[in-house]
Amino acid sequence: MSFFKRNRAELEKLGIDIARLPPGQYHTKRFPVLHAGSVPRVDLPTWDFTVDGLVDEPSRWTWPEIKAMPTHEITADIHCVTKWSKFDTGWSGVPVRQIWDQIGAKPQATHVMVNAYHGFTANLPIEDFLRSGNLFAHTFNGEELELEHGFPLRLVVPHLYFWKSVKWVRGFTLIAKDEPGFWERNGYHMYGDPFKEQRYWGD
């Protein structure tokens, strides 16, 4: 029996619905650390979160202003393109919609480009970006995010492969058409639905 079949059999023995596990994935209790480049140096006094592009006027928030916003908690399964999945992860942070409702988006905007440290970017259709439950999270399982997992803030978009849940997020840009972000320019799928195995170009 292959590793993947054993992993699914173990889930069944635990009474976990294997339909939660996308094709080609295996379940793990660990939280692997994967990213391009080095972990950034974060200076909270100078840190900011900015929104620009197709908006009435660019917006900027400091870390105290982000932390003062209303928060929401979610529990979600997450799925990495490198084939691991982790169930029932707990996140707390600012709902994406909380930020969105303050920015004055222009009607021609169709997508966002999420921006992070080191020039990292990821593209999302607006309807996926605004999906209920999506967060700019600062807390994981009741604890402040660890630096290697995106401190002080990471986007959490559980219904897509986890590279779309950008770590070390610094804001987003509204754009009028879909454009590839960092990993999309390097071979990853433009959308990234784990249940359709949209991992790479052509999937």
pLDDT tens digits, 127-161: 999 999 999 999 999 999 999 989 999 999 999 99
In sequence order, the β-bridge partners of residue 197 are none
Assigned domain for 108 exists = yes
Assigned domain for 4 exists = no
Alpha-carbon distances, residue 36 vs 114, 125, 147, 167 (angstroms): 16, 23, 14, 11
Q: What are phi and psi of 175, to 5 degrees?
A: -130, 160
Indicate which CATH number applies to the domain containing 164. Answer: 3.90.420.10
Express each pLDDT in 45-84 by its tens digit: 999 999 999 999 999 999 999 999 999 999 999 999 999 9
Assigned domain for 3 exists = no
Residues 189 and 92: their CA atoms lie apart, in Å, by: 28
Number of domains in the chain: 1
59: tokens are 């917006």
156 or 40: which carries more pLDDT confidence? 156
**Contact at 8 Å (CB) between 94 and 71?**
yes
Residues 6+ apart with CB under 8 A from 3: 26
Q: How many CA atoms lie within 13 A of 20 on its CB side?
A: 18
Q: What is the pLDDT of residue 38?
A: 76
Assigned domain for 179 exists = yes
Q: How many C-beta neighbours within 10 Å does residue 155 have?
A: 24
Task: Give residue for tokens 């709902």.
Answer: 95
Assigned domain for 28 exists = no
Residue 1 banded pLDDT, cuts 50, 70, 90:
low
Residues 69 and 75: their CA atoms lie apart, in Å, by: 20
Task: Give residue for tokens 């972000």.
Answer: 181
Assigned domain for 30 exists = no
Q: What is the pLDDT of residue 140?
A: 96
Assigned domain for 55 exists = yes
Q: What are phi and psi of 138, to 5 degrees?
A: -120, 0
- Structural domain containing residue 132: 42-75+86-196
Assigned domain for 131 exists = yes
Q: What pTM value is reported for the model?
A: 0.93
Closest to 182 in 3D by CA, of 164, 194, 199: 164
